[in-house]
Amino acid sequence: MVDQLSPLAPVLRPGRHPQSDRIGVTLAEVQPGSIVQVAAWRGQEGSLISSIREVTGLVLPDGAGGGIATEAKAAFGFAPGKFLVVDQDEGLAAAFAGSVTAETGTVTDLSHGRTAIRVAGPKAEWVLSQFFAVDFSLLAFPEGSGLSTVHHDVFAQIQRTGAEQFDLYVFRSFARSFWKSLCHASEEVGYEVL
């Protein structure tokens, strides 16, 4: 497979910003091997969830918003019958193509069209609430769950992958400007780029 260049390379500056002892969030680009969207035709949601379990080993709750995340894999529903599935290994789309039939739904490989950004730390909820009209509290947005939303014209799919950690998937063409905005919003609490 072709090596993928990061759209964040020109603006990703590792280290503490601003220089302080206080770090409220850490920001990082995550580079999974595969990002795939799978969607079920009406009435085929159960079959699609079974295909996700078959291909990834992840057991998903039924319905939009439900999800699960491990160190190597993640999946979440972001709309009725639509799921984003992420794996550290390449070839996830091909695996789904062999499992999801034309009668069940569709498989779309987004690996080269999305950039994954991780926001983690005790102030992660606060920083993200500067962008999105979403309740990011653990009670309202439990671990593993996900959603799709927008910040101005930047479409984002967000999954809580830890108690204080979120993974955001944005279009590669908007990744650099979104990253700059994210860094600017994080200045008040102190941040470190990994």
| Structural domains in the chain plus CATH codes | 18-31+113-193 (3.30.1360.120), 34-109 (3.30.70.1520)
In order of 36, 45, 55, 84, 156, the CA distances from 51 in angstroms are 13, 10, 6, 13, 25
Instruction: Provide φ and ψ at 49, rounded to 5°.
Output: -60, -35
Taking the C-alpha atoms of residue 44 and residue 42, their distance in angstroms, rounded to an integer, is 6
Mark residue 107 as left, alpha or beta (left: phi above 0; alpha: psi -120 to 50; beta: remaining).
beta
Question: Which residues are within 8 A (CB) of 36 and not within 5 positions of it... i.e. 6 or more apart?
Answer: 84, 85, 86, 87, 92, 93, 96, 107, 108, 109, 110, 111
- Tens-level pLDDT at each residue, the chain (194 residues): 556 678 888 888 888 887 667 899 999 999 988 999 999 999 999 999 999 999 999 988 765 567 888 888 999 998 889 999 999 988 999 999 989 999 999 999 999 999 999 999 999 999 999 999 999 999 999 999 999 998 887 899 999 999 999 999 999 999 999 999 999 999 999 999 99
The pLDDT of residue 11: 86
The pLDDT of residue 5: 76
The pLDDT of residue 7: 85
- DSSP string across the chain: -PPPPPTTTTT---EEESSSS---EEEEEE--SEEEEEEEPTT-HHHHHHHHHHHH---PPSSTT-EEE-SSEEEEEEETTEEEEEESSS-HHHHHHHHS-TTTEEEEE-TTTEEEEEEESTTHHHHHHTT-SS--STTTS-TT-EEEEEETTEEEEEEEEETTEEEEEEEHHHHHHHHHHHHHHHTTT-EEE-
The pLDDT of residue 3: 64
The pLDDT of residue 4: 67
Burial class (CB in 10 A: 0-12, 13-18, 19+), 53: middle
The pLDDT of residue 63: 59
